[in-house]
Amino acid sequence: MLKFFSSPLQPDEFVTQLKSFVDEEEIDCGSPTQFAGERPVIGRFETLRFTLHRRAGIHWIFWWLTPGQWFKPYLNGNVTAGDSGSRIALTAGTPVAVKILWVLILLGVSGLIATWTMFSYPYNLSHDPAHSARNFLAGIVLLNLLSGVLVLLPIIGWLQTRFHIADIVTELQRHLDLKQID
Protein backbone atom coordinates (compact mmCIF):
# COMPACT_ATOMS: atom_id res chain seq x y z
CA MET A 1 0.00 0.00 0.00
CA LEU A 2 1.23 3.46 -0.87
CA LYS A 3 -0.92 6.47 0.05
CA PHE A 4 -0.29 10.17 0.34
CA PHE A 5 -1.99 12.50 2.81
CA SER A 6 -1.86 16.17 3.70
CA SER A 7 -2.24 17.69 7.15
CA PRO A 8 -2.67 21.31 8.27
CA LEU A 9 -0.06 20.65 11.01
CA GLN A 10 3.62 21.45 10.51
CA PRO A 11 5.93 18.36 10.37
CA ASP A 12 7.30 18.67 13.94
CA GLU A 13 3.84 19.36 15.34
CA PHE A 14 2.46 16.42 13.35
CA VAL A 15 4.98 13.97 14.87
CA THR A 16 4.40 15.39 18.37
CA GLN A 17 0.64 14.97 18.04
CA LEU A 18 1.12 11.47 16.60
CA LYS A 19 3.14 10.50 19.69
CA SER A 20 0.25 11.66 21.89
CA PHE A 21 -2.02 8.76 20.85
CA VAL A 22 0.57 6.11 19.93
CA ASP A 23 2.62 4.18 22.50
CA GLU A 24 6.37 4.19 21.85
CA GLU A 25 7.82 0.79 21.10
CA GLU A 26 9.34 -0.03 24.48
CA ILE A 27 9.73 -3.68 25.49
CA ASP A 28 8.06 -4.60 28.79
CA CYS A 29 8.21 -8.36 29.45
CA GLY A 30 5.81 -7.93 32.37
CA SER A 31 3.09 -6.63 30.08
CA PRO A 32 0.79 -9.24 28.49
CA THR A 33 1.28 -7.55 25.10
CA GLN A 34 5.11 -7.26 25.38
CA PHE A 35 5.07 -3.46 25.03
CA ALA A 36 4.61 -0.73 27.64
CA GLY A 37 1.33 1.18 27.55
CA GLU A 38 -2.24 0.35 26.67
CA ARG A 39 -2.93 2.16 23.39
CA PRO A 40 -3.94 0.02 20.38
CA VAL A 41 -1.13 1.34 18.14
CA ILE A 42 2.59 1.05 18.88
CA GLY A 43 5.25 3.09 17.08
CA ARG A 44 8.94 3.71 16.57
CA PHE A 45 9.81 7.35 15.85
CA GLU A 46 12.71 9.16 14.22
CA THR A 47 12.79 12.88 13.43
CA LEU A 48 10.29 12.90 10.54
CA ARG A 49 9.84 9.16 10.02
CA PHE A 50 7.77 6.63 11.93
CA THR A 51 6.85 2.95 11.88
CA LEU A 52 3.54 1.82 13.37
CA HIS A 53 1.94 -1.56 14.09
CA ARG A 54 -1.05 -2.93 16.02
CA ARG A 55 -0.80 -4.16 19.58
CA ALA A 56 -1.52 -7.89 19.85
CA GLY A 57 -4.86 -8.82 21.37
CA ILE A 58 -3.56 -11.92 23.14
CA HIS A 59 -0.62 -12.64 25.45
CA TRP A 60 2.65 -12.01 23.60
CA ILE A 61 3.99 -15.55 24.13
CA PHE A 62 0.98 -17.02 22.33
CA TRP A 63 1.07 -14.27 19.69
CA TRP A 64 4.70 -15.11 18.80
CA LEU A 65 3.57 -18.68 18.03
CA THR A 66 1.01 -17.59 15.43
CA PRO A 67 1.56 -16.75 11.75
CA GLY A 68 -0.06 -13.39 12.48
CA GLN A 69 3.14 -12.33 14.27
CA TRP A 70 5.46 -13.77 11.64
CA PHE A 71 3.74 -11.88 8.81
CA LYS A 72 2.63 -8.80 10.79
CA PRO A 73 2.25 -5.71 8.58
CA TYR A 74 3.95 -2.44 9.47
CA LEU A 75 2.95 1.08 8.43
CA ASN A 76 5.91 3.32 7.57
CA GLY A 77 5.43 7.06 7.30
CA ASN A 78 7.52 9.94 5.99
CA VAL A 79 6.57 13.49 6.93
CA THR A 80 7.74 16.41 4.78
CA ALA A 81 6.88 20.09 4.79
CA GLY A 82 4.11 21.02 2.37
CA ASP A 83 2.64 24.29 1.14
CA SER A 84 0.17 24.66 3.99
CA GLY A 85 1.25 22.09 6.56
CA SER A 86 2.65 18.61 6.05
CA ARG A 87 2.70 15.99 3.36
CA ILE A 88 2.67 12.41 4.65
CA ALA A 89 3.67 9.37 2.57
CA LEU A 90 2.48 6.06 4.02
CA THR A 91 3.71 2.65 2.89
CA ALA A 92 2.51 -0.55 4.48
CA GLY A 93 2.89 -4.29 4.36
CA THR A 94 4.86 -7.24 5.65
CA PRO A 95 8.61 -6.54 5.49
CA VAL A 96 10.26 -7.78 2.28
CA ALA A 97 12.93 -9.67 4.24
CA VAL A 98 10.21 -11.81 5.88
CA LYS A 99 8.68 -12.61 2.49
CA ILE A 100 12.05 -13.52 0.97
CA LEU A 101 12.97 -15.68 3.97
CA TRP A 102 9.65 -17.53 3.73
CA VAL A 103 10.11 -18.20 0.01
CA LEU A 104 13.63 -19.50 0.69
CA ILE A 105 12.29 -21.81 3.43
CA LEU A 106 9.57 -23.07 1.09
CA LEU A 107 12.02 -23.69 -1.76
CA GLY A 108 14.62 -25.22 0.56
CA VAL A 109 12.23 -27.67 2.22
CA SER A 110 10.61 -28.62 -1.10
CA GLY A 111 13.97 -29.05 -2.79
CA LEU A 112 15.39 -31.12 0.07
CA ILE A 113 12.44 -33.50 0.14
CA ALA A 114 12.30 -33.80 -3.65
CA THR A 115 16.06 -34.44 -3.86
CA TRP A 116 15.99 -36.98 -1.04
CA THR A 117 13.04 -38.81 -2.63
CA MET A 118 14.55 -38.75 -6.12
CA PHE A 119 18.03 -39.95 -5.11
CA SER A 120 16.86 -42.56 -2.61
CA TYR A 121 14.59 -44.30 -5.15
CA PRO A 122 17.37 -46.11 -7.08
CA TYR A 123 18.93 -47.29 -3.80
CA ASN A 124 15.56 -48.50 -2.51
CA LEU A 125 14.84 -50.20 -5.83
CA SER A 126 18.15 -52.08 -5.65
CA HIS A 127 18.20 -52.98 -1.95
CA ASP A 128 14.55 -53.03 -0.89
CA PRO A 129 12.39 -53.51 -4.00
CA ALA A 130 9.35 -54.60 -1.98
CA HIS A 131 9.07 -51.21 -0.30
CA SER A 132 10.57 -48.89 -2.93
CA ALA A 133 7.22 -47.77 -4.38
CA ARG A 134 5.80 -47.11 -0.92
CA ASN A 135 8.88 -45.05 0.07
CA PHE A 136 8.68 -43.05 -3.17
CA LEU A 137 4.98 -42.38 -2.66
CA ALA A 138 5.65 -41.38 0.97
CA GLY A 139 8.21 -38.83 -0.26
CA ILE A 140 5.71 -37.36 -2.71
CA VAL A 141 3.00 -37.17 -0.04
CA LEU A 142 5.43 -35.54 2.43
CA LEU A 143 6.48 -33.04 -0.23
CA ASN A 144 2.86 -32.07 -0.89
CA LEU A 145 1.94 -31.86 2.80
CA LEU A 146 4.88 -29.69 3.84
CA SER A 147 4.57 -27.44 0.79
CA GLY A 148 0.85 -27.04 1.51
CA VAL A 149 1.50 -26.13 5.14
CA LEU A 150 4.23 -23.65 4.16
CA VAL A 151 1.83 -21.98 1.70
CA LEU A 152 -1.07 -22.04 4.18
CA LEU A 153 0.80 -20.33 7.05
CA PRO A 154 1.17 -16.92 5.29
CA ILE A 155 -2.51 -17.08 4.35
CA ILE A 156 -3.41 -17.63 8.02
CA GLY A 157 -1.13 -14.73 8.97
CA TRP A 158 -2.86 -12.50 6.44
CA LEU A 159 -6.29 -13.51 7.74
CA GLN A 160 -5.25 -12.66 11.30
CA THR A 161 -3.86 -9.22 10.42
CA ARG A 162 -5.75 -8.13 7.28
CA PHE A 163 -7.50 -5.18 8.97
CA HIS A 164 -4.52 -3.87 10.99
CA ILE A 165 -3.30 -1.36 8.41
CA ALA A 166 -6.79 -0.01 7.68
CA ASP A 167 -7.39 0.41 11.43
CA ILE A 168 -4.13 2.32 11.87
CA VAL A 169 -4.85 4.62 8.90
CA THR A 170 -8.34 5.28 10.28
CA GLU A 171 -6.83 6.20 13.67
CA LEU A 172 -4.38 8.57 11.97
CA GLN A 173 -7.16 10.24 9.97
CA ARG A 174 -9.36 10.59 13.04
CA HIS A 175 -6.70 12.11 15.33
CA LEU A 176 -4.63 14.14 12.87
CA ASP A 177 -7.20 15.51 10.40
CA LEU A 178 -5.51 13.88 7.40
CA LYS A 179 -6.84 14.40 3.88
CA GLN A 180 -5.94 11.87 1.23
CA ILE A 181 -4.16 13.17 -1.87
CA ASP A 182 -5.05 11.35 -5.09
pLDDT tens-digit series, residues 157-175: 999 999 999 999 999 999 9
Long-range contacts of 35-42 (CB under 8 A, 24+ apart): 40/167, 40/171, 41/168, 41/171
Per-residue pLDDT tens for 91-135?
999 999 999 999 999 999 999 999 999 999 999 889 999 999 999
Rounded CA-CA distance 35/28 in Å is: 5
The proportion of the chain whose per-residue pLDDT surpasses 70, expressed as a percent, equals 100
Task: Write down the pTM of the prediction.
Answer: 0.82
Residue closest to 144 by CA, chosen among 120, 176, 169, 110: 110
The predicted pLDDT at position 53 comes to 94
Q: Please determine, for residue 45, whether its predicted confidence score (pLDDT) is greater than 80.
A: yes
